[in-house]
Homo-oligomer: A and B are copies of this chain.
Amino acid sequence: MEEWEQYFLRNPAPQGFNASCDRLKKFCRQHAGHHPIALVTSGGTTVPLERNTVRFVDNFSAGTRGAASTEYFLAQGYAVIFLHREKSVVPFFRHLNPSFLLNSLQENSEGGLQLLPQYSSQVYPIWKNYQRIMSEERLLFLTFTSLSDYLWLLRATTQYLQQLAPSSLLYLAAAVSDFYIPQDQMAEHKIQSASGPLTVTLQLVPKMLSPLVSLWGPDLFVASFKLETDSEKLIEKAAGALKRYKHKLVIGNLLQTRREEVTLVAEEQSHVVKLTQQQQQEGVEIEKFIVEEVCACHKKFT
């Protein structure tokens, strides 16, 4: 048995998994032949250290890249499955910070609450766009927290989208843990600090891109991300991933500069997408250009 099969055998499906599959199925059926579908994964995955989980290892990711990219895929006419970490950044809502609502309201003459004019004009285009997308039912929200929840939902979604290949694509922007503790090696209860320093041994997570590309979605257009902190390793690692998994595109980025520069690595060529100083000042998001390039590649592919 392959390592990835063992992983799924040992880690049970998340709560509500069947209901999520029903929503996926319905969404795919609805858009088949009408819109290309993009799966966008977003946010970090958690890896519990205890079965009754108080502590866990997490991956740095607010989810900004996935949330922003989702808006640009929608703008390109895609229907989007937004598979994201619970509480991570969400398309549309991300433009409104949590204190916004309570600070931007005033009473109107009928005793109701309305947005202050200066906020109203700011929110209006976002609200209008959101209303349109929701009325077209072009955005499906699915959430995960742990690595295992994520992998179960990733496999299921890929398998549904494979049925709509080649007109659907995967855009794997989630920050997925490389390490985990198998259930049977996990402490049952909260680890006690009285016993001194804590040594934790984390096992390697099987490389899921491998069965994803070869078995679950062999006819899909797959773009994955590679995040590093060391610029000397980045391109080598990105090219290595492409060679190993044989998918279409690796988008390499450095933690330190990820908002203004990425490198798109494809089989035949690689090139840098970089915001100019002026674009940065104007608040242009690099995800706009990344998504436009991915959509162009996807068009060629189909």
Apart from A54-B227, A108-B108, A112-B115, 14 more pairs, CB < 8 Å: A55-B177, A93-B99, A102-B126, A102-B127, A108-B114, A114-B114, A114-B115, A178-B193, A179-B198, A189-B229, A197-B201, A197-B202, A197-B203, A200-B201
> In the complex, are the beta carbons of A175 and B130 less than 8 A apart?
no
Chain A, 200-218, CB within 8 A of any chain B CB: 200-204
A105 within 8 A of B: yes
Query: How distant is A159 from chain B, measured CB to nearest CB, in Å?
Result: 25
Which chain B positions have C-beta within 8 A of A53?
60
> In the complex, are the beta carbons of B54 and A55 less than 8 A apart?
no
> In the complex, are the beta carbons of B199 and A200 less than 8 A apart?
yes
Bound Cα distance A3, B96 (Å): 43
Which chain B positions have C-beta within 8 A of A219?
none
Instruction: Select A256's contact among B52, B62, B99, beta carbons within 8 Å.
Output: B52
User: Which of A5-13, A116-124, A284-292 interfaces with chain B?
Assistant: A116-124
Knowing A113-B123, A229-B190 are in contact, say whether A57-B49 is a contact too (CB < 8 A). Answer: yes
Instruction: Select A190's contact among B52, B58, B189, B228, beta carbons within 8 Å.
Output: B228
Label chain A's interface by main secondary structure.
mixed
Number of A residues near B (Cβ < 8 Å) is 61
> In the complex, are the beta carbons of A120 and B113 less than 8 A apart?
yes
- Which residues of A come within 8 Å of B, CB atoms? 46, 49-50, 52-60, 62, 87, 90, 92-93, 96, 98-102, 105, 108, 112-115, 117, 120, 123-124, 126-127, 130-131, 175, 177-179, 189-190, 192-193, 196-204, 227-230, 233, 255-256
Bound Cα distance A178, B55 (Å): 10
Which chain B positions have C-beta within 8 A of A124?
113
> In the complex, are the beta carbons of B59 and A55 less than 8 A apart?
yes
Instruction: Select A57's contact among B57, B196, B230, B233, beta carbons within 8 Å.
Output: B57
